[in-house]
Amino acid sequence: MEFASLFNFSIQRPCEALFWICAFLLVQNSEGSSSDSNYLIGLGSYDITGPAADVNMMGYANMEQTASGVHFRLRARTFIVAEPQGERVVFVNLDACMASQLVTIKVLQRLKARYGDLYTEKNVAISGIHTHAGPGGYLQYIIYIVTSLGFVRQSFDVLVNGIENSIIQAHENLRPGSIFINKGKLLDAGVNRSPSAYLNNPAAERRKYKYNVDKEMTLLKFVDLEWGPIGSFSWFATHGTSMSRTNSLISGDNKGAAARFMEDWFEKKGGIGSGFDISVDDRIPRRVSNIIPNLFTNHHELLELAASFQRPSGTSATRILSSSRRVRGALTNADKPQFVSAFCQSNCGDVSPNVLGAFCVDTGLPCDFNHSTCDGKNELCYGRGPGYPDEFESTRIIGKRQFRKAVDLFNNASEQLKGKVDYRHSYVDFSKLEVTLERGGTTQVVQTCPAAMGYSFAAGTTDGPGAFDFKQGDDKGNPFWRLIRNFLKKPKKEQIDCQHPKPILLDTGEMTKPYDWAPSILPIQILRVGQLIILGVPGEFSTMAGRQLRDAVKTVLTDGGKSELSGDIHVVIAGLTNSYSQYVTTFEEYQVQRYEGASTLYGPHTLSAYIQEFKKLARALVDGQAVAAGPQPPDLLDKQLSLLPSVVMDTTPHSVKFGDVKSDVPKNSTFKRGDMVTVTFWSACPRNDLLTEGTFALVEILHDKKLWVPAYDDDDFCLRFKWSRPFKLSSRSHATIEWRIPKTASAGVYRITHFGAAKRLFGSIHHFTGSSSAFCVM
């Protein structure tokens, strides 16, 4: 391809010619990026942070775990890859516990209204990172919204809006570019939390692998023809459970942290189009030290400057003020693409980030190996992360380990993706699917079952133990809970036999009042970009289940060397994609009935059913044949019920304004790097306005002795926004902002600012802001 046509550009002046030649050579010589473009690539990112108050967190099913602030914000990150005159695929990575069938349905409806048939269920994949620290209530089946008191429209809407906007951004950013792939081992970011179940797999199968969890990270590096590297998407299996079941701050957990670290790292190293050397050091970089030079060395001068600023009272603000003051505002980089980095989930079913192991909280001894109990009690057995006992530190460490491996893979990516962009998608009814098994030269036809959950489901895991007298590995049940079960729905003998050896606790697949409790129709999907194959699965596959699925699909795709994909293809599993149906274990793991087996909904042959149906998609992909759409999943939006009370009104004491400081920094205070700065404001319920693409909390640094410049916001790992009421039904509330001063912070004068929105008696919303007194950092 000729240079001029490559850029669709006519050069008329020598200086312009020199600029574009240098830009072209920069792209050509970027690390692992010396290649002609062969795709159109576009990336997008949008805020999906849900209600930071009152709403139950999704993941642990702990009714006492309700949101009350923000650790850092959640985002939807998207890539689109298209052949210039051919097909295209969309992959969306959500900082959410999982994808939702209802969310997917509504996103696809919006895309159809905007783009026609360009983006459909066939070529759009929406995948969750499995954080257990995001607001729930956005799935449509009852079993997944019981603890959130039903459907939460705000949680649902922010996801649909955010996904749509991230796809719109990626679509509008489509430009010529290339994609590079790299893989490498990450050894210290996940352990098997159900090793006794893994050991039940055949020894011959286990001997194929060195570890009992997958240690490989697969990374895509996106390189724009003009701008150079613009993003990365990586897949690695580890649960989003570094944050515990008692955490109440919205957080992307370890994968969300890794994404924030990598995006900030790239910006720190010069950003898109800089040509800076890209390396990684031990510190997670922040940009403020580049924006504001370290001009202050005299402590007395700093104190005098800080004292010259009077603390402002709370004041009215516009909705847009919060967005315009963000550190990473959209307007900041309007002249160039935004670097987008996503850390996607894979077959994480039995993989825990709590890598120190599981111990009894009362004795400090290791938990029972087979049942994960302590003296027979599951609720005393907890996994420990590398930062134990600090869950925030564990999240940082596991996030940092993924981030550092991703940087290494990013810098050394040299294999270019080439070839077709293609896809296959089908809906399958897993509640009554005939599955043909071939074992030892014989053929046997078995069947999946309507969804059901076993007793060990209620025992939880070492990442988040359950309650009562449940324990993992229970294949019998007990009379008391059987009585409770039968009151809700007594399973038929056929169902009991089909699910054996699972003792059924909840027969969710046959519970339909007031509407469906569990899914039966699920989407399965294959996306292809050159030699990369992405398997979109609507659940959490165990390590061995994921390996077997990948191997089966790869065998079909390579077709004994006859397929054009017979070379070195890369198959990754994208877990929790498009819908959610809990776990998938191997047949042998299912027999043990630990948590993952008890949560494998469709019986012992669930994995075999997935393998059978994915092989059909893979064969159709190789042969260039279409596949049947399958039965459509229901749209249950109109049937949703919600028991979550709405916000009635917000108030403050007499003569106190929203945004006024309740507890300030000490007068004439000076802090050191590593110190914690805490300020509390009179506030209002964060559900009044999610401040999407804005911030509830801001740290500002004084520039040129007069201008307050945003330095850190509630999307920074070092800043926490905590919201609270004096008592449950109080109309008064407080916002406490905590800033752990980073080692990279510049010396200077700072203040902490809060943004919020209050609801008046008759429903109108009043936006406000307030700031602390100024203080020094040395």
Q: Which residue has the tokens 């929790």?
A: 576
Helix, strand and coil percent figures for the chain, each rounded to 5: 25, 25, 45
**Whether 94 contacts 126, CB under 8 Å:** yes
Which amino acid is it at 220? L
Which amino acid is it at 297? T
Largest Cα–Cα distance in the chain?
86
**Whether 753 contacts 771, CB under 8 Å:** yes
Q: Tell me the chain's radius of gyration from C-alpha atoms.
A: 26
C-alpha dihedral sign at 32, 33, 38, 44: positive
Helix (H) or strand (E) holding 405: helix 391-411
Closest CA to 356 of 326, 321, 383: 383
Closest CA to 186 of 232, 218, 209: 218
Which amino acid is it at 313? S
Q: Which residue has the tokens 């249950």?
A: 636
Please report, to the nearest 10 degrees, the dihedral formed by the alpha carbons of residues 344, 346, 350, 355 taken in order: -40
CA distance 778 to 762: 47
Q: What is the DSSP letter of 756?
A: E
CA distance 50 to 160: 11
For residue 143, count CB atoms less than 10 angstroms from its CB and return exposed for 0-12, middle for 13-18, buried for 19 or more: buried
User: How many DSSP H helices and E strands does the chain contain?
Assistant: 17, 37
Per-residue b or e along 309-342, where b marks 16 or more CB atoms closer than 10 Å to that residue's CB = beebebeebeeebbbebbbbbeeeeeeebbbbbb
Q: Which two tokens stand for residue 56?
A: 């139950």
105: alpha, beta or left, given left = phi > 0 and alpha = psi -120 to 50? alpha
Which amino acid is it at 673? R
Task: List active site positions.
Answer: 352
Q: What is the DSSP letter of 162?
A: H
Closest CA to 360 of 373, 371, 370, 346: 373
Q: Is 142 helix (H, G, I), strand (E, B) or coil?
A: helix
CA distance 193 to 308: 56
Terminal CA-CA length for the chain: 55
Q: CB neighbours of 571 closer than 8 A, spacing ≥ 6?
A: 533, 535, 550, 553, 554, 557
Angle of CA points 760, 765, 771, to nearest 5°:
100
**Whether 225 contacts 37, CB under 8 Å:** yes
Which amino acid is it at 145? I
CA distance 698 to 771: 9
Q: Which two tokens stand for residue 522?
A: 């699920």
233 bridge partner residues: 220, 342
**Whether 81 contacts 39, CB under 8 Å:** yes
Which amino acid is it at 460? G
Which amino acid is it at 7? F
Whether the upstream peptide bond of residue 519 has omega within 30° of 0, thus cis, is: no
Interhelix angle 101-115/153-172, nearest 10 degrees: 40
CA distance 760 to 758: 6
Residue 4, CB half-sphere, CA atoms under 13 Å: how many?
A: 4
Which amino acid is it at 516? D
